[in-house]
């Protein structure tokens, strides 16, 4: 069985940083939004899709340098991003192959996972949706299907751990089973319900409980060891 981890909000506690920075800069541009609202609406989406939605609602284009300013500030804050509590212990217990599938850029994934002490535990199997096929981010299933192809496993032999609706939708579209995760600092009231509605079979709040849930899902049937 292949286990696929999302990165931001599952392996590292970075989604809150994205949400805080983007909310601050968007509010300064006249699009008033809180970090909590950013997390609820946009977690798991690629930046160009977020900008498309914001510009439509704002009624004008964001400044040409907005993306660069946003990424620069986020990258500054990500240099000391922590791993989600319990991730290292889970990886110690987990049997079988594993990889990362994210909508974040490859360069950012290497920086943030390295900062959290996790990159060496996955390399070279750290996949960015931007480098796969047409570069479509989640909820496209492309990055998940790419991972399954690399490991030569069928989609039903894959278990995905995701914290975003877009990620859950992408994994389900790929024919994979999904555990939702709500243990990141960006989680909001109703987060678990949204993940379940998107297709997660169960939702876990604490990473220290994840291994038992994975083993239980194996026993429920449909997952090959």
Token pair of 137, please? 């981010």
Both 163 and 201 in one domain: the answer is: yes
Q: What are phi and psi of 94, to 5 degrees?
A: -75, 130
What is the C-alpha end-to-end distance of the chain, expressed in Å?
A: 5
CA–CA separation, 160 vs 222, rounded Å?
Answer: 14
- CB atoms closer than 10 angstroms to residue 144: 30
* Residue 221 clears pLDDT 80, i.e. is over it: no
CA–CA separation, 197 vs 165, rounded Å?
Answer: 9
CA–CA separation, 190 vs 6, rounded Å?
Answer: 20
Q: Is residue 225 part of a domain?
A: no
Both 35 and 48 in one domain: the answer is: yes
Both 66 and 93 in one domain: the answer is: no
CATH code of the domain in which 39 resides: 1.10.150.240
**Mean pLDDT rounded to a whole number for the chain:** 93
82-139 pLDDT, tens digit per residue, is 999 999 999 999 999 999 999 999 999 999 999 999 999 999 999 999 999 899 999 9
* Residue 220 clears pLDDT 80, i.e. is over it: no
CA–CA separation, 186 vs 99, rounded Å?
Answer: 23
Which has more confidence, 49 or 101? 101
Confidence of residue 76 (pLDDT cuts 50, 70, 90): confident
Question: What is the structure's pLDDT at 224?
Answer: 53
* Residue 7 clears pLDDT 90, i.e. is over it: yes
160-204 pLDDT, tens digit per residue, is 999 999 999 999 999 999 999 999 988 988 999 999 999 999 999
CA–CA separation, 85 vs 206, rounded Å?
Answer: 8
CATH code of the domain in which 163 resides: 3.40.50.1000
* Residue 77 clears pLDDT 70, i.e. is over it: yes
Which has more confidence, 143 or 115? 143
* Closest C-alpha to 122, from 4, 1, 218: 4
Both 105 and 189 in one domain: the answer is: yes
Token pair of 213, please? 């849930």
47, 78, 109 - which closes a domain: 78
Asked if residues 80 and 111 have their Cβ atoms less than 8 Å apart, the reply is no
Question: What is the structure's pLDDT at 223?
Answer: 57
């Amino acid at each position: 069985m292949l286990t696929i981890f999302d990165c931001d909000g599952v392996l590292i506690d970075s989604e809150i940083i994205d949400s805080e920075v983007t909310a601050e800069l968007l509010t300064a541009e006249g699009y008033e939004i809180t970090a909590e609202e950013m997390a609820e609406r946009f977690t798991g989406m690629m930046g160009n899709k977020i900008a498309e939605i914001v510009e439509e609602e704002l009624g004008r284009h964001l400044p040409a340098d907005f993306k660069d300013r946003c990424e620069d500030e986020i990258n500054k804050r990500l240099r000391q991003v922590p791993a989600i509590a319990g991730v290292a212990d889970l990886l110690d217990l987990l049997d079988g192959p594993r990889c990362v599938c994210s909508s974040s850029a490859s360069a950012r994934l290497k920086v943030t996972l390295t900062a959290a002490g996790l990159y060496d535990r996955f390399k070279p199997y750290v996949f960015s949706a931007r480098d796969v096929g047409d570069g479509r981010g989640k909820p496209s299933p492309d990055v998940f299907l790419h991972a399954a192809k690399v490991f030569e496993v069928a989609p039903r032999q894959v278990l995905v751990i995701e914290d975003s609706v877009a990620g859950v939708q992408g994994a389900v579209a790929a024919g994979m089973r999904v555990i939702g995760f709500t243990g990141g600092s960006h989680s909001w009231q109703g987060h678990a319900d949204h993940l379940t509605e998107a297709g997660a079979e169960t939702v876990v709040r604490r990473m220290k409980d994840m291994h038992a849930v994975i083993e239980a899902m194996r026993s429920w049937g449909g997952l090959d060891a």
